[in-house]
Structure 1
Amino acid sequence: METDFIRMGIVYLHLIACCVAIGTVFMGDLDMVRKLLRASDERTDPSHFKSLHTVVSRSLIVLWITGVALVALDVYLKGAGTLANPKLQSKIAMVVLLTINGLALQQFVLPWLKKTGSLLDLSFRRRLVALFTGAVSGVSWFYAAMLGIARPLNWKFTLTEILGAYPVMVAGGFIGMLALTAWAEYRSRHAGMDLPLFGPMDLRPLHATAH
């Protein structure tokens, strides 16, 4: 009975950490998409990027601590065979990917954005890296949350089957953001220009243009 309450407390902290991270990532992505849709030239305060990364990083640390505690408790109570559960393996894979992706964001993407203040002001190569790491971050957090509540997946599907939709979702997110940034850049460059849809039109009378 005592172990049940201990496990419940750990799961609760695990859930809170995941919710905080997802909320932070979602609001950050929503703000970026809103600016891209408006093709806004507004620069984001560098401290904003730092605060977002700090919250997500700390949530990830809590996720690691509580996750390891849960696995250790389950192994203690049920045996090492627990580690063979494909759903558990997929959750571990998600957290590892989030950790690697977080390091990439910290080492590369965040310093770039702090200098420019805008995704559109990055070079094309750096923008691709930023969009890809952003897609991985967003998809991974939501995928990890789904795995956390997906009890029916326990022991019923292989690791490949459980993670089958993951690369598709990352690719979809990356392509979608790539298209959105391209559209926002086009609008930003042509802001204030009244461009006719089918090119310039000659409004002179037909009889005048015939001579």
Structure 2
Amino acid sequence: MELFRLGLIYVHLVACCVAIGLVFTSDVAMVNNLLKGHVSSEHDNAHMASLQKTVVMALIFLWITGAAVIGVDYLDKGMTYFANPKLQAKVIIVLLLTYNGMFLHRVVLPALQKAGSLLDLEFGVRTLAIFSGALSGVSWLYAAMLGVGRPLAWKYSLLELLTAYPVLIVLGFAMMLALTQWARKQSMVQETPWPLTSMNAR
């Protein structure tokens, strides 16, 4: 049973690492383009489509392996296992990731494909897209931290474990919102034609 549990945790960890790696590299590419003052339509659509597929596949593996690990631990420790605040925090974050993935698929991605670019979205929709992205990035990293933080088990309450979580989401959202607004202004400046001066108009 111990080897079976170890195998489940291994697959669980690999799925988490793959998701974090793909999400991180995709986000870095988007930030680099924003720093240049523009984001191409092709990159936006590819970014969101890739992010959505990654989230879905990784969440499927995480739910399956995570539920299996919980089942094995329950058989070993009984109902007291579910009182572990670290376990509760992980389940809450994975639930949020799941709902956020559904939101990305049903709302953000179709709107982005219709607009053609993140910078071309209406302010409200663009704000929701940025918040959803910030929630996704922070949640994956936070869940990974809880996953490897065995010393955190039973040492802190659920509230203490999740205190930094909303703070990091707000900070990530604020930074990306400011960067996107700056990139949008830069894009508008680049697209504005400069007045041509004629040598004869003197």
> Structure 1 or 2: larger helix share?
2
Counterpart mapping for 1:1-211 below 5 A = 3-44=1-42, 46-47=45-46, 49-191=48-190
TM-score of the pair, normalised by structure 2: 0.91
| Cα RMSD after superposing both structures | 1.7
Question: Which amino acid in the other structure matches residue 175 of structure 2?
Answer: G
2:121 maps to amino acid: L
Per mean C-alpha deviation after superposition, the further-off stretch among 56-65 and 108-117 is 108-117
Deviations 1:96-139 (A, max 9, x none): 00001111111100111112232101000000100110110000
Q: Give the TM-score normalised by the residue count of structure 1.
A: 0.87
1:63-111: CA deviations, max 9, x gaps?
0000000000000011110000000000001100000111111110011
Cα contact 1:21–1:55 (8 A) shared by 2: yes
Q: Which residue identity lines up with residue 183 of structure 1 in the other structure?
A: W
Question: Rg: which structure is higher?
Answer: 1
**Aligned mates of 1:48, 1:188 — CA distance in 2:** 19
CA shift at 1:41, angstroms? 4.8
Query: Could you tell me whether the CA contact under 8 Å between 1:24 and 1:56 is conserved in 2?
Result: no
Amino acid at match of 1:15: L
1:17-37: CA deviations, max 9, x gaps? 101110111111111111110
- Letter matched to residue 188 of structure 1: S
Q: Distance in 2 between matches of 1:66 and 1:4?
A: 14
Q: Conserved in 2, the CA contact under 8 Å of 1:49 and 1:114? A: no
Equivalenced residues, count: 193
1:187 partner amino acid: Q
What's the CA shift for 1:153? 0.6
Deviation of the 1:48 alpha carbon: 5.0
Q: Residue type of the partner of 1:112?
A: A
Whole-angstrom CA distance in 1 between matches of 2:125 and 2:67? 34
In percent, how many aligned pairs have the same letter? 51
Unaligned runs of 5+ in 2: 195-202
SS of the equivalent of 1:44 reads helix
